[in-house]
Amino acid sequence: MNATKWKLSTLTSLTCLALCLTFTQAARGAEASDPLAAKQTYLGPTGMTKAWDISKGAGGVTIAIVDTGVDLNHPDLKGNLVPGVNLIQPGQPPADDNGHGTNVAGIIGAAGGNDKGIAGMLWQARIMPVKALEADGSGGETMLGEGIRYAVDHGAKIVVLSLGLNKYSDYLSEIVKYAESKDVLLVAATGNEGNRVKYPAAYPTVLAVGGMTAGGAVDTRSNTGPEVDVVAPWNVFTTALGGSYEAKDGTSMAAPQVAAAAALLWERYPQMKAHQIRQWVRQTAQDLGPAGWDPGTGYGLLRVDRLLSERIAEDMYEPNDRKDQAKTVSNAKSVTASFASGTDADWYVIDAQYDGTVSLSFAMDSSMTVSAQHTDASGVLSAKTVQGGGAVTFPVSKGRSYVQLQLKDRGQAEAVPYRMTTSFEIYRDAFEDNDRQFKASVLPSRTLTVKGTFHQTGDTDWYEFPVPESGSMRIRLTSDTARIDPVLLVQKQGEKSVTVDYGDDGAEEGYELTEVFPGSYYIRVTNVKEYANAVVGEYTLKIEYDAKLADPNEPNNKSYQATVVSLDTPYTGLLDKPNETDWFQFRVEQESRVGIGLTDIPAGVSLYMHLYDGSMRSIASSMNEQGSAVQSLTGRLEPGTYYVKLTSSVPFDNRMYELTVEAKPLLGGYTDVSGHWAQSAILTLSGRGVINGYEDYLFQPDRPITRAEATAVLTRAYGLTKEKEIAYSDLGSGHWAYTYIARAAQAGIIEGYPDRTFAPDQPVSRMEMTAMLARGAGMSGKRRGAVPFTDVDESYWGTGLLKQMKAEGLIGGYADGTFRPDQQATRAEFVQLLAGMLK
């Protein structure tokens, strides 16, 4: 079920709440003499009263309120109004017949110091009422777009949008881009459902404003996500219809506070661009959550006093020259930064809620080329270049990833500003392509849970559920975002379908079949038609199927009856009789890391798993934890035949367990080095104890090697024993690599940074790797001759070492003649180079 109109009620509660907002961080400044000013406690936390000591008005900046209109005769507003438009009733004045627009107008521009009512943030203002919503607060998407366009075309510099919808719109996206092209700042409320940020706040160039509580935290009802820029107080006291005043709350009331603050700033600096105003608001916000940007409070609480008194930074993210200094940015916003020179590296952190792809587009001098290196949450490194005005895309895994940006021209002497717009596309789910019924993804005939995505416009997901035995079936469809309004269709093959769509945005849909018969049942999952665009979010389809079950492996109650298992293949079974035993047999052809997994264990059942070798000698055993539906056994096994015995605490016949045996061959104790180009070096140095792997028999050869890891490897390789007293602010004596670093420092192989940090987790570049290995071998780098690589010259600090190492056949470059000294070195590269030097 879907509401296709924009609604104010989703962004502001109509309940009048008492105000108790106090903040000690913002000093008191000028006070208004207006009789109800004492009720405007929300002005304190943002430093508004202190900002009045600097400026009280913005008579040169027109602010359009696209809303329900404004009370045109309100004594506290009419002096600050300029002509607007009524798009609902053309030819009529934009009078408010709801009250919401009047609430918004009072926050911005109720006349101050006039001995009437309250004082708006701007005592003198130019407010343009644009009535684009009906009396009940609803309105069409087209009307909203026309309202924004009218404001832009009639001189507004700022447009306030205290409304929202979960639906992405190509039409409205183009309107937003039009406003940006005309240098008009859009400010919008995030919404009040405790869900995802609504549109238009979610578009990348719109300043998205959430709501803050009296306690200084984001209100639990305020929508959050990667689009949030800042927050402002949730509760206000403002103008109301009929010349009156009232308490209001919601992000609808927070957004106009940011718009008014931006107007004060633009009045003082009229030469500024809209994107600079946005960044200045972010820069001066008071951090409330984790350090830096976060999806709850964005960059923090609006601080108008700072906005008017602090200078704008060329790059608010500095210092971010190293990975350990990386600054968090949203994956769905446009931000401004700068390269101080060609040697300046900018590191950013991007947190992805899902697997997918992140795109970075750069608005900057088109003659400049940016080198971008991305390391995702799983440690996979990729490097690309992008010309100014272009975009680059990286695949990302769910979790934290890092991006390093640097000008390709390292010799660039002047600063190069840039605007970076980030965007995220969710992964294509594992069941695609299943957009047609005849392409339906066939599911196992058991109770299961499926996670899917709408990764592209018009995505439709079909599933086929074969029912082998008569029984019952319950289907539930949920989503993790209100941007999905799920629709469920169920159809038995050859029969009439049933469509289920009773809930609103994000609400669960469900259907129960008390009796199902053998045959195929088709299940279709879609987003409601009006929301057919790609969505960043997941849906969950849960199918509960109860049937009279039969164990397909019987008889396997004795070891000599054991079911022979093929590796990496799931086997289902039952233990439906008292004291029943199920036996399985598998064979390992070479030394392997073997994992035996049991899933779908019924609730209330303890399942025991015992592993035996070919001589029936017990090797290991396990039992699932109470309430857990899974358990596993993992370890290293020699070639041979093995047996698995399963027993249960109680019989069960309503659900099949699933057994899977996986075997990954080991080479040198690792599952991921066989066939790798550095295999020989890895096995040699690993066998000598110079370098170690990670848990679960992994070496991770293509993972970037850190300064701490590289130092430990060199210390072991050269048998260093003498230690130097070291003191770094980020390296305590309890760090695992402390002793290795102290020994390497004594040998002169490595040193810290001028700021007295060591950055142990910072990846090592290819040049740093070369220098560390050269120092360990006592090389001075004094060899003369031609520069061996095309991307370094005589002035580069490591050229001497590169000449010597290349001349002695210890290093090589890439096929294009480059060395790529600033690219991160992998564990395989480090080991390969070290092995060559130790020969």
CA-nearest of 700, 726, 729 to 711 is 726
Q: Which two tokens stand for residue 799?
A: 């050229």
User: Residue 828: what are its φ and ψ, rounded to 5°?
Assistant: -65, -45
| Res 20 pLDDT > 80 | no
- The 3-class secondary structure across 809-834, one letter per residue, is CCCCCCCCCCCCCCCECEHHHHHHHH
> Position 4: which residue type?
T
Quote the radius of gyration of the chain (alpha carbons, Å): 32
| Res 512 pLDDT > 80 | yes
Owner of token pair 């941007």: 483
Q: Which of 100, 275, 374, 610 is catalytic?
A: 100
CB burial of residue 493 (10 Å; 0-12, 13-18, 19+): exposed
Residue 491's beta-bridge partner residues? 522
| Res 10 pLDDT > 50 | no
User: Residue 671: what are its φ and ψ, rounded to 5°?
Assistant: -100, -5
> Confidence class of residue 7 from pLDDT cuts 50, 70 and 90?
very low
CA-nearest of 278, 248, 296, 307 to 98 is 248
User: Residue 232: what are its φ and ψ, rounded to 5°?
Assistant: -140, 165
| Res 380 pLDDT > 80 | no
User: Residue 719: what are its φ and ψ, rounded to 5°?
Assistant: 60, 40
| pLDDT per residue as tens digits for the range 446-484 | 999 999 999 999 999 999 999 998 888 999 999 999 999
| Res 11 pLDDT > 50 | no
| Res 41 pLDDT > 70 | yes
Residue 513's beta-bridge partner residues? 473
| pLDDT per residue as tens digits for the range 627-640 | 789 999 999 999 99
744: Cβ–Cβ under 8 A, 6 or more apart, which residues? 711, 714, 715, 720, 750
What mean pLDDT do residues 144-166 have? Answer: 95
What mean pLDDT do residues 590-602 have? Answer: 94
Q: Are 130 and 94 in contact (CB under 8 A)?
A: yes
Provide the pLDDT for residue 290: 82
Q: Are 102 and 74 in contact (CB under 8 A)?
A: yes
At CA 571, angle to CA 551 and CA 512, rounded to 5? 70
Provide the pLDDT for residue 393: 95
Q: Which two tokens stand for residue 42?
A: 């929300």
Q: Are 592 and 665 in contact (CB under 8 A)?
A: yes
Percent of the chain surpassing pLDDT 90: 82
| Res 547 pLDDT > 90 | no
| Res 123 pLDDT > 50 | yes
Cβ neighbours of 518 (radius 10 Å): 12
Q: Which of 34, 67, 96, 219 is catalytic?
A: 67
> Confidence class of residue 21 from pLDDT cuts 50, 70 and 90?
very low
Provide the pLDDT for residue 401: 93
Provide the pLDDT for residue 382: 87
Q: Which two tokens stand for residue 133?
A: 């919503």
Provide the pLDDT for residue 138: 86
Provide the pLDDT for residue 780: 82
What is the rounded CA–CA span in Å between residue 444 and residue 459? 23
CB burial of residue 561 (10 Å; 0-12, 13-18, 19+): middle
CA-nearest of 699, 721, 709 to 760 is 709
Provide the pLDDT for residue 18: 26
What is the rounded CA–CA span in Å between residue 375 and residue 364? 24
Q: Which two tokens stand for residue 245?
A: 């005043």
Q: Are 787 and 803 in contact (CB under 8 A)?
A: yes
Q: What interhelical angle do 738-746 and 707-717 show, nearest 10?
A: 60
Q: Which two tokens stand for residue 676?
A: 């790798």
DSSP helix/strand/coil, 514:
strand
438: Cβ–Cβ under 8 A, 6 or more apart, which residues? none
DSSP helix/strand/coil, 375:
strand
What is the rounded CA–CA span in Å between residue 230 and residue 277? 13
Provide the pLDDT for residue 808: 86
Q: Which of 162, 169, 252, 371 is catalytic?
A: 252
Q: Which helix (H) or strand (E) holds 743?
A: helix 738-746
444: Cβ–Cβ under 8 A, 6 or more apart, which residues? none
| pLDDT per residue as tens digits for the range 254-285 | 999 999 999 999 999 999 999 999 999 999 99
What mean pLDDT do residues 430-435 have? Answer: 94
Q: Are 148 and 159 in contact (CB under 8 A)?
A: yes
DSSP helix/strand/coil, 546:
strand
Q: Which helix (H) or strand (E) holds 354?
A: none
DSSP structure string for 610-623: EEEETT--EEEEEE
What mean pLDDT do residues 304-332 have? Answer: 94
Owner of token pair 């001066």: 284
Percent of the chain surpassing pLDDT 70: 96
| Res 6 pLDDT > 70 | no
| pLDDT per residue as tens digits for the range 50-93 | 999 999 999 999 999 999 999 999 999 999 999 999 999 999 99
What is the rounded CA–CA span in Å between residue 223 and residue 412? 42
Question: What domains are defined for the chain?
Answer: 11-309 (3.40.50.200), 323-407 (2.60.120.380), 437-547 (2.60.120.380), 559-665 (2.60.120.380), 679-837 (no CATH)
Using CA atoms, how far residue 501 sits from 450, 478, 761, in Å, is 19, 12, 50
Cβ neighbours of 629 (radius 10 Å): 17
Provide the pLDDT for residue 379: 76
| pLDDT per residue as tens digits for the range 801-839 | 999 989 888 888 899 999 999 999 999 999 999 998 887
Provide the pLDDT for residue 30: 64
DSSP structure string for 108-128: HHPPSSSSSS---S-SEEEEE
User: Residue 753: what are its φ and ψ, rounded to 5°?
Assistant: -100, 160
> Confidence class of residue 15 from pLDDT cuts 50, 70 and 90?
very low
Exposed e or buried b per residue across 157-180, where buried means at least 16 C-beta atoms within 10 angstroms of its C-beta:
bbbbbbbbbbbbbeebbebbeebb
Dihedral sign, CA of 558, 561, 566, 570?
negative
> Confidence class of residue 346 from pLDDT cuts 50, 70 and 90?
very high
Using CA atoms, how far residue 688 sits from 640, 682, 744, in Å, is 28, 10, 19
What mean pLDDT do residues 225-253 have? Answer: 96
DSSP helix/strand/coil, 707:
helix
What mean pLDDT do residues 742-747 have? Answer: 93
What is the rounded CA–CA span in Å between residue 466 and residue 284? 59
> Confidence class of residue 178 from pLDDT cuts 50, 70 and 90?
very high
- Residues 489-495: contacts with CB under 8 Å, at least 24 apart: 489/522, 489/523, 489/524, 489/526, 490/521, 490/522, 490/523, 490/524, 491/521, 491/522, 491/524, 492/516, 492/517, 492/519, 492/520, 492/521, 492/522, 493/519, 493/520, 493/521, 493/522, 494/519
Q: What phi-psi label fits residue 179: left (phi over 0), alpha (psi between -120 and 50 degrees) or beta?
A: alpha
What mean pLDDT do residues 780-785 have? Answer: 77
What mean pLDDT do residues 5-33 have? Answer: 43
Provide the pLDDT for residue 29: 54
How much is the mean pLDDT over the chain?
A: 91
Cis geometry, peptide bond prior to residue 444 (ω within 30 degrees of 0):
no
> Could you confirm whether 67 is annotated as catalytic?
yes
Provide the pLDDT for residue 384: 94
CA-nearest of 156, 158, 160 to 144 is 160
**How many CA atoms does the CB half-sphere of 558 hold within 13 Å?**
2
